[in-house]
Amino acid sequence: MKNLLLQLFFVFLTTLSIAQESFVKGDIILKVNDQKVDLFVDQANTDFPDLQLELKEVLSESANLYLIQYDYTNLVYQEEEILSLIRSLPNCAFAQWNHNNIKSRSTPNDPSFRVQWNLKNVDAEKAWEITTGGMTLDSQEIVVAVIDEDCAIGHDDLKDNIWLNKHEIPRNNIDDDLNGYKDDYNGWNVFEDTGHVYGVSKSHGTMVTGMVGARSNNGTDIASVNWKVKILPVMGSHTVESIVLKSYNYVLEMRKRYNSSNGDSGAFIVAVNSSFGVDRGKPADYPAWCEMFNTMGEAGIISVGSGPNSVSNIDVVGDIPTTCPSNYLVAVTNINRLDKLNNAGYGAINMDIGAPGTDVISTNSGNGVQTGNGTSFASPMVSGAIALMYSALPKDTLLKYKGDQAKLASHVRKLLLTKGYREIPDLKGKTLTGGTLNLYRAVLAAIDSTDTTVGVKPVMTAPYSISMYPNPVKNELNIRTLGNEDLKIDVVDINGAVALSGILEEGITKTINLDNLSPGVYLVKFYSPLYKHKAKRFVKE
């Protein structure tokens, strides 16, 4: 968990003066408690009539965030006094400026590299032997939301992976599914408040999208972390903070609709990627932005944010979004093909993990490919990895957390940051994990998350130990238990299907022949009538 007290200490040391902040004149982002916003505005205008406050826009009804405006051309107050006045009102949860200094985090260049070293670096091929993504084992369509400045949804290597709103009829100017967004058939354009999602010449968002989920094994352009995941593009990533908040709100509302409709409407968004941010930003100045990570997390969404493209300790100087204190946020920095931190931010407290982002190749808006550099392209690899993990989660795990998607999101994030990485010397002491993404280990961690106690009320922890070898195994697996009872065992594949069954006698080594099993990852489940069940994993080569 991020150390908020330490962050606030650094905020105290390094906070810039109001004159140095960059924000939209006359705009304030507001959250109110236990009161309608119009009543709050009326009360503010009664107490401080010279402000002439008005409600400008609802940013997120679910998060209770609003954009209000004041007349900055005719004020008796200094600007530095205005937030203090608004914050002094009893029902103000927080008030902040509407910042307009948000930037994308990459420097794309011309195509020159045709080898995707980044996928080899994360052991993608070994992970793909287990799963290539797309669906959960209980048949839910996995979606990653990409918030950026563009997305060429017609790109030959993207079009089959772009999410479709099955309840919306495109381009009829009607909100067919009554979700508050007209024609959001492929996603949403917050800049224009339309469902028109498209690519632009810069290609930043299209490249980020390709890193998450370009269609793979189709003979076209590139492979990606996740072959068949659906991408929900949202245009709305930079310049003004209120645009960012509205973008997050669209993602939030689509996941909430999915949860409340039992999957009939909305989208099963498991991760949202943010390849943009504010260098040296402080959470104390961006409370609305940081709180959205918690609000989305409560609906089941893991947020992935890219760090700054500069060699800086974010624990000291700050950064938005990566220093936001949320247990649903994964902060990502950039490594090169030599496993070195490459012109990117770090911090043992706030930066969670590294991922390849230097000289990586991805899709562009010209229906081709190009290379890019930056944390912008490291974070979508982690977003795609999270989606791939969801495709490997056993049915038992999905069932256990069916009623609490926030706990499932927290569980997957924890698996990623405790098991889904490879330690490298250059990140030791510079990130929370001390390592860089390893897709194979992340998928294995998801498989190992099986909880065989679902539906069982164990009396006590089982007083037996289990040894199992070799692992990986080619032909014969040896299992031995030490305890006071015989155990029933099942060998199951990653889909939960039982491949072999038998009885394990206490104190006797049992040798199981695996010649009839296909190569892959399997679990051995151990059943006791009295005690909490256990499971151990092995790899059949």
Residue 226 has pLDDT above 60, yes or no: yes
Residue 401 has pLDDT above 80, yes or no: yes
Average pLDDT over residues 327-335: 97
- In eight-state DSSP terms, residue 1 is -
Last residue of a domain, one of 99, 120, 154: 99
Higher-confidence position of 488 and 53: 53
Nearest Cα residue to 339 out of 352, 328, 323, 355: 355
**Angle of CA points 378, 381, 384, to nearest 5°:** 155
Q: Which of 170-179, 218-227, 381-390 has the lowest mean pLDDT?
A: 218-227
Evaluate whether residue 452 is within a structural domain: no
Which helix or strand (DSSP H or E) is residue 247 part of?
helix 241-260
Evaluate whether residue 454 is within a structural domain: no
Q: How confident is the model at residue 535 (pLDDT cuts 50, 70, 90)?
A: confident
Residues 72, 46 share a domain: yes
The domain total for the chain is 3
Q: Which residues pair with 168 in a beta bridge?
A: none
CATH number for the domain harbouring residue 40: 3.30.70.60
Phi, psi of 317 (to 5 degrees): -90, -15
**What was the pLDDT predicted at 539?**
84
In the three-class reduction of DSSP (H, G, I as helix; E, B as strand; rest coil), residue 50 is classed as: helix
Q: How far is CA 163 from the centre of its chain?
A: 17
The whole-angstrom separation of Cα 525 and Cα 456 is 14
CATH number for the domain harbouring residue 297: 3.40.50.200
Domain range holding 81? Answer: 23-99
The whole-angstrom separation of Cα 409 and Cα 406 is 5
Residues 93, 191 share a domain: no
Last residue of a domain, one of 51, 76, 99: 99
**What was the pLDDT predicted at 508?**
82
Contact criterion met (CB below 8 Å) for 243 and 289: no
Nearest Cα residue to 160 out of 88, 218, 102: 218
Evaluate whether residue 326 is within a structural domain: yes
Residues 234, 320 share a domain: yes
The whole-angstrom separation of Cα 196 and Cα 344 is 33
Tens-place pLDDT, residues 113-134: 357 999 999 999 899 989 999 9
Q: Strand 487-493 to strand 520-527: parallel, antiparallel, or no bridges (unpaired)?
A: antiparallel
Residue 273 has pLDDT above 60, yes or no: yes
The whole-angstrom separation of Cα 25 and Cα 16 is 18
DSSP secondary structure letters along 308-372: -SSS-BHHHH-EETTT---TTEEEEEEE-TTS-B-S--B-TTT--EEEE-SSEEEE-TTSSEEEE
The percentage of the chain sitting over the pLDDT mark of 90, rounded to a whole number, equals 70
Please give the C-alpha separations between residue 360 and each of 105, 208, 330, 425, in angstroms, as whole numbers.
Answer: 14, 11, 21, 22
Residues 469, 409 share a domain: no
Could you tell me the pTM of the whole model? Answer: 0.79
Q: How confident is the model at residue 453 (pLDDT cuts 50, 70, 90)?
A: very low
**What was the pLDDT predicted at 262?**
95
Higher-confidence position of 159 and 453: 159
Residue 2 has pLDDT above 60, yes or no: no
Evaluate whether residue 336 is within a structural domain: yes
Average pLDDT over residues 213-223: 90
Residues 200, 244 share a domain: yes
In the sheet with 421-423, reading across from the earlier edge strand, the strands are 188-189, 230-235, 142-148, 268-274, 302-306, 329-335, 353-356, 435-437, 421-423
The whole-angstrom separation of Cα 208 and Cα 200 is 13
Residues 360, 329 share a domain: yes
In the three-class reduction of DSSP (H, G, I as helix; E, B as strand; rest coil), residue 479 is classed as: strand
Residues 125, 159 share a domain: yes
Residues 91, 140 share a domain: no
The whole-angstrom separation of Cα 496 and Cα 519 is 15
Evaluate whether residue 507 is within a structural domain: yes
The Cβ of residue 348 has, within 10 Å, a number of other Cβ atoms equal to 16
**What was the pLDDT predicted at 536?**
80
Contact criterion met (CB below 8 Å) for 4 and 10: no
- In eight-state DSSP terms, residue 239 is B
Evaluate whether residue 460 is within a structural domain: no
Q: Strand 369-372 to strand 319-320: parallel, antiparallel, or no bridges (unpaired)?
A: unpaired
Residues 131, 86 share a domain: no
Q: Within 13 Å of residue 491, how many CA atoms lie on the same side as its CB? A: 23
Residues 409, 306 share a domain: yes
Mean pLDDT, the chain, rounded, equals 88
Residue 460 has pLDDT above 90, yes or no: no
Residue 375 has pLDDT above 50, yes or no: yes
Alpha helices in 59-155 (DSSP H): 79-87, 117-121, 124-128
Please give the C-alpha separations between residue 48 and each of 76, 81, 150, in angstroms, as whole numbers.
Answer: 10, 12, 41
Evaluate whether residue 78 is within a structural domain: yes
The whole-angstrom separation of Cα 186 and Cα 196 is 8
Residues 312, 231 share a domain: yes
Average pLDDT over residues 245-273: 98
Evaluate whether residue 327 is within a structural domain: yes
Contact criterion met (CB below 8 Å) for 433 and 351: no
Q: How far is CA 221 from the centre of its chain?
A: 25
Torsion of CA 146, 244, 414, 62, to 10 degrees: -110
Nearest Cα residue to 31 out of 189, 249, 299: 249
Higher-confidence position of 138 and 530: 138
Nearest Cα residue to 245 out of 279, 199, 276: 276
Residues 221, 176 share a domain: yes
Phi, psi of 388 (to 5 degrees): -65, -35
The whole-angstrom separation of Cα 489 and Cα 526 is 5
- In eight-state DSSP terms, residue 284 is G
**What was the pLDDT predicted at 464?**
59
Q: How confident is the model at residue 483 (pLDDT cuts 50, 70, 90)?
A: low
Residue 165 has pLDDT above 80, yes or no: yes
**Angle of CA points 149, 202, 145, to nearest 5°:** 30
CATH number for the domain harbouring residue 532: 2.60.40.3080
Last residue of a domain, one of 47, 74, 99: 99
